[in-house]
């Protein structure tokens, strides 16, 4: 089985596939219909046309619950087996401008696994083994009293990053300055080693989400966010281990220190020494995605362009290199119409295609945080969190689509 070389730290169909909770007879308890268009009344709402070759799947929805943020956790693929993570709490109406997760109830971190290319999904709970237990200021809810994370230790090294069933996740405990820890698995995420401390790299602190590129048995590059000198998020950087995870070294800053924040890189490798990444940016003028390129293995970076100039409230991107060499960048738009979209590039990110709107039926701004993978058949699976009328609960959705052939 070929190991994917990157991890991410996210449409009308004839039949819905519900896989994680049984429907009831009450209309109010029905799962959201991903093909039901949210009919907003704002005459200024952007008019967008949805692609016709998109299949939408509800991966995890429960009445009264809140499921969100795959981009924070990561995604991995082996053939048609896909694994992702998500945060799981309880729904509470806190208004249209806030995450509608109950701050007074438990929030836990779970995994979702598909064995059929993203059509059906099952939930796994690593918290029961003391793994990936949510803690610190990254929690919007309360920590669960039944789950205690294992003690953090220093990694002894010896990780074989090229193991065919390898995966790794890097998690923060504070979105400004961390600290962060990482785990790895040799059996596709069924069992994990860790948590291992991730060093602060002589920065105010590392607030990690999962974004890495395997480069050899003992070598792996990671793309992370560091806190700024004022203790706020954040500035993106590249770091690397060459000794199987025992030590991690700072390689280079990806972007200048921003007035607001520049966070959550999503990165592909385009050549032996060439990396290309998209950064989530925001300041008092707006929110957007910027791209940067390194031609010296992550030491220095230059700004390339702004493929998504207006993301509404802001959202990270999910970037992958397709089998035909093109780049696919997917993202959530947090303004009406709340939507999941993608762009393609055939020239290494120098120019971008039109937007491909995978769905535009979001009932509000609290959507997105995508991760994406490409299946063996060439279709792209974009995972994200979403909510759509008439149900208010946030759920994990997947859009499966086939990018048009390269011209």
- pLDDT by position in tens, the chain (length 407): 434 444 433 333 333 333 333 333 333 344 544 333 323 333 355 667 899 999 999 999 999 999 999 999 999 999 999 999 999 999 999 998 899 999 999 999 999 999 999 999 999 999 999 999 998 888 999 999 999 999 999 999 999 999 999 999 999 999 999 999 999 999 999 999 999 999 999 999 999 999 999 999 999 999 999 999 999 999 999 999 999 999 999 999 999 999 999 999 999 999 999 999 999 999 999 999 999 999 999 999 999 999 999 999 999 999 999 999 999 999 999 999 999 999 999 999 999 999 999 999 999 999 999 999 999 999 999 999 999 999 999 999 999 999 999 87
Query: Residue 14: what pLDDT?
Result: 35
Rounded Cα–Cα distance for residues 322 and 344 (Å): 10
Single out the residue of 293, 359, 301 nearest to residue 331, CA to CA: 359
- Which residues 6+ apart lie within 8 Å of 340 measured at CB? 10, 330, 331, 332, 333, 357, 358, 359, 367, 368, 370, 382, 384, 386, 399
Query: Residue 97: what pLDDT?
Result: 86
Peptide bond into 40 cis (omega under 30): no
Domain boundaries 6-24+50-401, CATH class: mainly beta
Query: Residue 45: what pLDDT?
Result: 54
Note the pTM of the prediction, 2 decimals: 0.88
| Cα-trace Rg, the chain | 20
């Amino acid at each position: 089985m070929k190991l994917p070389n990157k991890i991410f730290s996210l449409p009308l169909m004839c039949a819905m596939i519900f896989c994680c909770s049984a429907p009831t007879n009450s209309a109010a308890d029905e799962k959201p219909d991903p093909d039901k268009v949210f009919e907003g009344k704002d005459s200024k709402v952007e008019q967008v046309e949805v692609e016709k070759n998109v299949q939408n799947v509800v991966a995890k929805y429960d009445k009264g619950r809140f499921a969100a943020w795959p981009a924070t956790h990561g995604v991995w693929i082996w053939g048609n087996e896909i694994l992702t993570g998500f945060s799981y709490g309880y729904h509470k109406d806190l208004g249209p401008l806030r995450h509608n997760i109950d701050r007074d109830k438990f929030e836990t971190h779970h995994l979702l696994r598909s064995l059929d290319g993203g059509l059906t999904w099952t939930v796994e709970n690593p918290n029961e083994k003391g793994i990936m237990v949510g803690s610190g200021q990254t929690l919007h809810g309360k920590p669960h009293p039944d789950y205690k994370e294992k003690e953090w230790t220093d990694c002894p090294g010896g990780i074989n990053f090229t193991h065919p069933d390898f995966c790794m996740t890097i998690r923060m405990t504070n979105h400004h300055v961390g600290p962060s820890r990482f785990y790895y698995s040799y059996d596709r995420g069924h069992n994990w080693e860790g948590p291992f401390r991730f060093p602060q790299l002589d920065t105010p602190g590392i607030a990690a989400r999962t974004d890495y590129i395997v480069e050899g048995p003992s070598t792996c590059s990671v793309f992370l966010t560091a806190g700024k000198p004022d203790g706020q998020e954040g500035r993106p950087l590249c770091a690397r281990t060459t000794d199987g995870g025992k030590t991690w070294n700072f390689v280079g800053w990806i972007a200048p220190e921003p007035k607001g924040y520049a966070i959550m890189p999503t990165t592909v490798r385009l050549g032996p020494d060439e990396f290309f990444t998209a950064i989530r940016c925001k300041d008092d003028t707006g929110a957007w995605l910027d791209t940067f390129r390194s031609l010296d293995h992550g030491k220095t970076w230059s700004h390339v362009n702004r493929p998504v100039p207006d993301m509404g409230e802001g959202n990270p991107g999910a970037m992958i290199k397709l089998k035909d060499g093109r780049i696919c960048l997917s993202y959530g738009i947090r303004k009406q119409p709340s939507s999941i979209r993608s762009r393609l590039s055939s020239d290494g990110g120098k120019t971008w295609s039109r937007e491909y709107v995978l769905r535009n039926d979001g009932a509000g701004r609290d959507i997105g945080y995508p991760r994406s993978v490409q299946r063996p058949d060439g279709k792209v699976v974009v995972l994200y969190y979403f909510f759509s009328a008439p149900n208010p609960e946030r759920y994990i959705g997947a859009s499966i689509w086939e990018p048009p052939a390269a011209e």
